[in-house]
Structure 1
Amino acid sequence: MASKDGLTLGDLYRGLREQFAAANVPDPEVSARRIAAEASGTSAAEVALAPQTPMTVRMVAHADAMAARRVAGEPLQYVLGSWAFRELDLATDRRALIPRPETEVVAGIVIDWLNGTARHRHPAGLSVADLGTGCGAIALSIAHEVPQARVFATDKSADALALAAANLAGLGNAATRVSLHHGNWLDALAGVRPSTTPESRETSAVSEGEGDTAGQNIAAAVTGLHGRLDVIVANPPYVADGDALPAEVRDWEPHEALYAGADGLGALRTIVREARGWLAPGGLLVLEIGSEQGYAAVALAEARGYADVRIEPDLAGRDRVLVATRPRSEPDNVAIGQAIERLHEGHFVVAPTDTLCGIMARYADADAVARVCEAKDRPRSEPMPILVSGISQADELVEFSPRARALAERHWPGGLTLVARRRGGPDPLHGRETLGVRAPAVGWLRWLIDETGPVTGTSANRHGVETPAGADDAAASLAVLPVAGAVIAGAAPGGVASTVVDVTGDQPVVLREGAIGADSLGFPDFPAESGT
């Protein structure tokens, strides 16, 4: 577009709109209005309100340069070099994802919670980790809108962190409550202290692995931020590797911030898994997800032992945000981590569970399960229930019909034991073809099982003897005592044992009524040909 005497802002806008429409640029009117405003140094509103404003040669040249980039397919946000996000105007370029309205919903959930529930709980200050911060949209918005928040923003991309630093420089006083850390997800915060100040904003040198060996990360003493974060929030990559994306996204935005493995859940799995131990009791996990990932995201969080798990919609009503809470009352990280280590070493662990104190050993360790039988004076030929973290672990052990799966989806975690056909033939200890499996309601117990694999779920007593209410007393009463540190102290709440349902046949059969009444099970009705 060449300049000429008498060219006005209105002329510039109309010329751009025609050029973009002819080039099939998406939303040509929006692009024309925003580029005309940027080139002329006015606002988008002034393009319509003051169309007679004269244009200079430099303004037209600037508009021409931006128009050429837009016609070439570059996203409007990158062409303009900045974009609004909630109350901020952020620098944007190819080093990080474009801030979108869906992510504004994510930030809003966190900000509302921090300014409401959390502010009254911790008036002196709140600690927030924004993982994969990109241009800093979520982190900076939280710092700007929540005066009590101290925000730790991480990213494994040094380029993205440089862009976030540029945006941070324009934040004003709130910038003193934000620090940037180079590394992968929560690994970037290893060794960071709550008192870390942005004035000494040194990046954390970390590896980019998936975390420590089972139990070690959880068992780590609560130092630094581990176990103290009030919120962990992220907009992680969640596109499956083979999924098609619009050319504007695929060809311009950083792939490492978009794609997350064959099913798109790789980053979500890692964050849901690791965040459990980094959150303070009662802390909140908030993650942006794909619109078709709600069910899978909930299953991941529930298997990890989070409470109050839910999915929130975006502005278009699509599933968009996973919200989950670390339960307030549970054993500390050290006790849970030590129990995980003992289980992996082949020992059994005594702990309070849903109702009674239980004795747990890794089901995959036949020798450990045999020692449970010995400790209980129980014949090896009698099967024990097996505790799983959720349906995914159950699928590795037993065969679920559609009807059985629907029962598990409806009543797990909770007081329902399903007796199903064992995969791989008879159990090596008791020799039967079936197993009873259950996902316990206790969140920390599902967390432990998610780390170790399925465990025995039998009461911690000698065969035929009442189980003591306290874990220490229960452990002391066994015929074989657990090793030191293999008891999670506390008293069991008591209550009704689980309802047991046989799902090996065409119709579910209640073998024992318990916590869930038979009339409340709501057996799903499937046609016989569906594999029931």
Structure 2
Amino acid sequence: MFKTIWFLNRLMHRHSGVSKHRSVVRLWSNAAEGAVAPPADCRITAEQAIRLWAQHFTLHGISEPLLSSQYIISHVLGEKTLECVQRKRLRDTLTDRERERVWELCSKRLTRMPVQYVIEEWDFRDLTLKMRPPVFIPRPETEELVNLVLEDLRLIWGESHTTDLRCLEVGCGSGAISLSLLRSIPQLRVFALDQSQTAVCLTMENANRLGLQDRLDVHLLDVIKGADAILSKCNPVDFLISNPPYLLSQDMETLQTEILRFEDHSALDGGFDGLSVIRPILALSSKLLTQRGAHIRSTWTESGCHRHACLPGGCPMPSSNHSAADRGDDAGVALFRNPL
């Protein structure tokens, strides 16, 4: 029987796009002055607004300018993506309220606020989650982590197991991981914790919106300072999952302005060696994981795989890896095995 621990890296992707519109000068001059509302005499279609703001974002060095414009204007039109907006609707002139709302949200994006915070929601797998700064925005790579966890759990417990399962998530943020697992596993109960009150509240808000609150317990606890409190509040669990900070402190200043200005640094800064939170998570797992039946006790956490050799002697070391070398980086999922 073994305990297993998986690690996965985060990735950041950039896209760009630019287009032109000859009537943009009037709008740009107002934006530079910090205007919240567009000029009263401005008549513009949704299609024109997308092109206009994409170029405006490009000139101001905003990352993903075209996608930013498309997401914001689609949101104002009541859809998630541009593909969901009817073609005729794109060619219609925006109402005064729609135009004001586009201007308001795009002005926020000009401050480098991430689109997820601007439109106050984002999709994670099959869930739509509310987003609020500075709670860390879940990345696509975390979706991959959840998929891998679900795949491994199916191998461990089978497709149709009926046994109730218990999970601990350390650092729940918006609740993306916990809620996605709860949606996928009807027999699961999750104990989630975070050191941020804003994150705890946002996780509960998302749980209530999705109707998953009855199988979720969320607590304001710090895994570094509150191990005893966690042990006293949390019953033994079958597996543990986390998306902890793993960046070296010295690398924080190299992050995008959007991240540095708006997202919670404590969700990214892993200390001088990137392991300041990972160490207590591993120590906690040995005390909380159950030993019932013939199940494999499991712990998954996202991290930079290249630093596994830095783990102290008391922590399990990787025995295999799910590599992401084809993406040109050191991302991957390392499988750790530790005899019980």
Provide TM-score, normalisation by structure 2: 0.78
Is residue 2:249 matched to residue 1:238?
no
Gap regions ≥5 residues in structure 2: 1-26, 28-37
Q: Does the C-alpha gap of structure 1 residues 59 and 325 become closer, same or farther in structure 2, counting only changes over 3 Å?
A: farther
Name the residue aligned to 1:405.
none
Amino acid at match of 2:280: T
Deviations 1:87-141 (A, max 9, x none): 1111112131011011111111212223342246963211111110111110010
Name the residue aligned to 2:31.
none
Q: Distance in 2 between matches of 1:189 and 1:171?
A: 26
Structure with greater contact order relative to length (CA < 8 Å, sep ≥ 6): 2
Kindly report the root-mean-square deviation, in angstroms, between the aligned alpha carbons of the 2 structures: 2.5
Q: CA deviation at 1:240?
A: 1.1
Of 265, 268, 273, which residue of structure 2 is paired with 1:263? 273
Deviations 1:27-55 (A, max 9, x none): 11100100111122234214573321331
Structure showing the higher helix proportion among its residues: 2
Gap regions ≥5 residues in structure 1: 194-223, 331-532
Q: Distance in 2 between matches of 1:121 and 1:230?
A: 17
Amino acid at match of 1:324: F
Name the residue aligned to 1:11.
48
Q: Which residues in structure 2 correspond to 1:54-453 (within 5 Å)?
A: 54-119=93-158, 123-172=162-211, 174-185=212-223, 187=227, 188-192=229-233, 224-225=235-236, 229-243=237-251, 244-281=254-291, 282-290=296-304, 294-297=305-308, 300=311, 303-305=314-316, 308=319, 310-313=321-324, 316=327, 318=329, 319-327=331-339, 330=340
SS of aligned partner of 1:280: coil
Q: CA deviation at 1:255?
A: 1.1
Deviations 1:391-446 (A, max 9, x none): xxxxxxxxxxxxxxxxxxxxxxxxxxxxxxxxxxxxxxxxxxxxxxxxxxxxxxxx
Q: Does the C-alpha gap of structure 1 residues 234 and 35 become closer, same or farther in structure 2, counting only changes over 3 Å?
A: same
Q: Does the C-alpha gap of structure 1 residues 22 and 5 become closer, same or farther in structure 2, counting only changes over 3 Å?
A: closer
Deviations 1:444-489 (A, max 9, x none): xxxxxxxxxxxxxxxxxxxxxxxxxxxxxxxxxxxxxxxxxxxxxx
CA contact (8 A) 2:245 2:277 kept: yes
Q: CA deviation at 1:189?
A: 3.1
Larger Rg: 1
Amino acid at match of 1:182: L
Q: Distance in 2 between matches of 1:323 and 1:175?
A: 31
Q: Distance in 1 between matches of 2:42 and 2:222?
A: 55
Amino acid at match of 2:76: A
Deviations 1:272-314 (A, max 9, x none): 2221232234211111012xxx243266388524675535539
SS of aligned partner of 2:137: coil
SS of aligned partner of 2:233: coil
Amino acid at match of 1:134: G
SS of aligned partner of 2:336: strand
Of 69, 72, 77, which residue of structure 2 is paired with 1:35? 72
Identical amino acids, percent of aligned pairs: 27
Q: Distance in 1 between matches of 2:161 and 2:326?
A: 30
Q: Distance in 1 between matches of 2:287 and 2:318?
A: 14
Provide TM-score, normalisation by structure 1: 0.51
CA contact (8 A) 1:285 1:323 kept: no
Q: Distance in 1 between matches of 2:332 and 2:92?
A: 43
CA contact (8 A) 1:8 1:54 kept: yes
CA contact (8 A) 2:54 2:68 kept: yes
CA contact (8 A) 2:245 2:267 kept: yes
